[in-house]
Structure 1
Amino acid sequence: MSDNLIPAIRGALPELRPAERKVAAMVLAEMDFAACASISALAARAGVSEPSVTRFCRAVGCGSLRQFKLQLAHSLAAGVPYQAVTIDKRDGAAALVHKVCDGIAAALEDVRERIDPAALDDAAAAISAARRVCCIGMGSGSGVVAQEASLRLLRLDIAASAHSDGQLQRLAAGMLGDGDALLAISLSGCSAEVNDSARIARRRGARVIALTQPGTPLGREAQVPLLLPLSSASTPYSPGVAQLMQLAIVDMLAIAVALRQQPAVLEKARRAKAEAERSRSAGAAFAAAASARP
């Protein structure tokens, strides 16, 4: 077994059974939780049986859940896992610059190599045809990405909204119907609020697009799953990497939607951007004039 369990889990992914892969996805997304949780809590969070958790532990080289949790806790304490590199407490600023940039570059390269172009095209088609699009996500990671997604779509003259509150998500999902789309964003794919909202939207007839990892409950709930590379899952110490990956896919999606728009819509978006820039320039000129007064 590797001294650092995290790379060992990622390396074992291709050989894991589907249920074991769900456990791996949950562990990589929520390592602090996994290092402390009981077997029943781990099974419930991953959406698998308790024996599947035990088999996962053995598949990554641990004889028992107890050994797995000890090894995971040791891995987290020994160094800060950051994608394919490990940041050590002894690293100086220069080392951090290189390691952080290397981690981000590796993650984006993983996205480029493993994102499914057909799924991206399907998602763009669903959004382009939608009467309105509701973007949802929880917390400072996926919630912020949902806000960014709605802003990108608004710039394309698409009626888009974003919600990061669980009750508002469910309410907004219940207002959707045929001809609408829900873009649900969750790295772990295990958020009860987001998953409930996806189920509600689908029952109402909306098209559900999920930006998540493979093998998650959210991915199974969606008609169009946009899957982040599992091997590049974030850790509690590197949330920015996962967010950058999500934003990269949102950018791809927005551009794919823009390419489907009619010339009149794109011209309208261009005029709106020009007006915004003109307002900023006028504000800057006013501020400069005010500061020049005696």
Structure 2
Amino acid sequence: MTPRVLEKIAEIMDRAPTARRTVLALILEDPQRVLDETFEMLARRANSSVPTIMRTCRDLGYPGLREFKLALAQELAVGGSPLNRRVRIDDGAVQVIAKVTRGAVAVINNVQAQLDVKAVEAAADAIAGSKRIDCYGVGVTSNFMASDLQARLYRMGLATNSYLDPHLQLISAATIPPGGVVMAITHVGGMPSLLEAVDVARSQGATVIALTQPGSPLSSLAHIVLGVEVAPDPVMPVGPEAYLAHLAVIEILTVLVAQRLGDKAVDRLVKIQHTLETRGVDMQHHMKLDWGDAANGTTGTPE
């Protein structure tokens, strides 16, 4: 039987160099926190460096940081709920609420720590200055993100579309003009069909922005990378924490784009809001619906 992560740590703790022993002690002390934070954050807590963290992972038998986190996440999931790696099967409602919300806070804090300010600003500049923005997604989660971003940009007056089908993504990429923007959203960042579409868009002279995890195949093809990494989910290929991280980035990007578009975007958003409030299906005060009888001219409500 292969030793588990925490067992391996106990085995090598005594003979590890001082700096690595400190890292190992922090992992043992609160393994869930290690999953929630970036390796840069762990290195700061250990008064160490990321290379030291990497060497520690190799001491434990893992070739890289991602493999170590995946193994740790799978170990912590044992005995937990099949829906959330933080929750144990016997936790009460109070514990479930506390653990899930605490995890959400940790994810958002990690987005703030990881997001490259210059990359976000460059992405906002490219989108605000482009005459066409095409959003690509892969899978249920990323498709929702791509559609959500497209709707946000469209409301601000930008010419934008979302393409979720691989065939349509290729058509989009083949027709996007120089100066256009392709926003590719996928946490895993390795779907071959998406990579093909992005490669075609690059050849057309489009700017490719990728919302994905650092080091993914997609990130190597993008001009601008909005890199966000979350702890691997042992239950789902893309877990709910990735949803939260991507939604936070999309909200940040939307606000920055609106700032660059200025009064024109603000006026348009105000007009849309007013129209929806007074004439839309989601208006707050609905008019009474009366059914008229065309034959005798009477009105009333149906039984």
Q: Normalization by structure 2: what TM-score?
A: 0.71
CA contact (8 A) 1:176 1:201 kept: yes
Q: What CA deviation, in whole Å up to 9, does each residue of 1:143-198 have, x standing for no partner?
A: 11011010110011011111222221122111112120000011111121222211
Which secondary structure state, in structure 1, belongs to the residue aligned with residue 140 of structure 2? coil
1:271: Cα distance to partner? 1.4
After superposition, where does 1:217-236 map in structure 2 within 5 Å? Answer: 217-228=217-228, 230-236=229-235
For the residues of structure 2 that align with 1:122 and 1:111, how far apart are their CA atoms?
Answer: 17
Q: Which amino acid aligns with 1:100?
A: V
CA contact (8 A) 2:77 2:86 kept: no
Q: What CA deviation, in whole Å up to 9, does each residue of 1:83-104 have, x standing for no partner?
A: 9x72211112221111110000
For the residues of structure 2 that align with 1:233 and 1:156, how far apart are their CA atoms?
Answer: 35
Return closer, same or farther for 1:81/1:116 CA change in 2, 3 Å cut-off.
Answer: farther
CA contact (8 A) 1:188 1:216 kept: yes
Return closer, same or farther for 1:73/1:146 CA change in 2, 3 Å cut-off.
Answer: same
1:265: Cα distance to partner? 3.8
1:16: Cα distance to partner? 7.4
For the residues of structure 2 that align with 1:12 and 1:59, how far apart are their CA atoms?
Answer: 17
* Aligned match of 1:79: 80
CA contact (8 A) 1:107 1:245 kept: yes
Return closer, same or farther for 1:250/1:199 CA change in 2, 3 Å cut-off.
Answer: same
1:270: Cα distance to partner? 2.0
After superposition, where does 1:6-25 map in structure 2 within 5 Å? Answer: 13=39
Q: Does residue 257 of structure 1 match 2:261?
A: no
Cα RMSD of the aligned pairs, angstroms, is: 3.6
Which secondary structure state, in structure 2, belongs to the residue aligned with residue 141 of structure 1? helix
* Aligned match of 1:134: 134
For the residues of structure 2 that align with 1:61 and 1:10, how far apart are their CA atoms?
Answer: 20
For the residues of structure 2 that align with 1:288 and 1:164, how far apart are their CA atoms?
Answer: 39
For the residues of structure 2 that align with 1:167 and 1:290, how far apart are their CA atoms?
Answer: 47
For the residues of structure 2 that align with 1:196 and 1:282, how far apart are their CA atoms?
Answer: 40
May I ask how many residue pairs the two structures share in their alignment? 253
* Aligned match of 1:61: 60
After superposition, where does 1:1-294 map in structure 2 within 5 Å? Answer: 1-2=5-6, 13=39, 59=58, 61-62=60-61, 75-79=76-80, 86-228=86-228, 230-237=229-236, 239-280=239-280, 288-290=288-290, 293=301
For the residues of structure 1 that align with 2:81 and 2:168, how far apart are their CA atoms?
Answer: 35
Q: Which amino acid aligns with 2:136?
A: I
Greater RCO (CA < 8 Å, at least 6 residues apart): 1
- Taking only the aligned residue pairs, the percentage that are identical comes to 25
Higher helix share: 1
Q: Which amino acid aligns with 1:143?
A: N
Return closer, same or farther for 1:91/1:210 CA change in 2, 3 Å cut-off.
Answer: same
Structure with larger Rg: 2
1:111: Cα distance to partner? 0.8
For the residues of structure 2 that align with 1:63 and 1:282, how far apart are their CA atoms?
Answer: 52
CA contact (8 A) 1:82 1:235 kept: no
For the residues of structure 2 that align with 1:118 and 1:290, how far apart are their CA atoms?
Answer: 56
CA contact (8 A) 2:277 2:283 kept: no
Q: What CA deviation, in whole Å up to 9, does each residue of 1:47-79 have, x standing for no partner?
A: xxxxxxxx99x7262389xxx999876554333
Which secondary structure state, in structure 1, belongs to the residue aligned with residue 135 of structure 2? strand
Q: Normalization by structure 1: what TM-score?
A: 0.73
1:235: Cα distance to partner? 4.7
CA contact (8 A) 2:37 2:110 kept: no
Which secondary structure state, in structure 2, belongs to the residue aligned with residue 288 of structure 1? coil
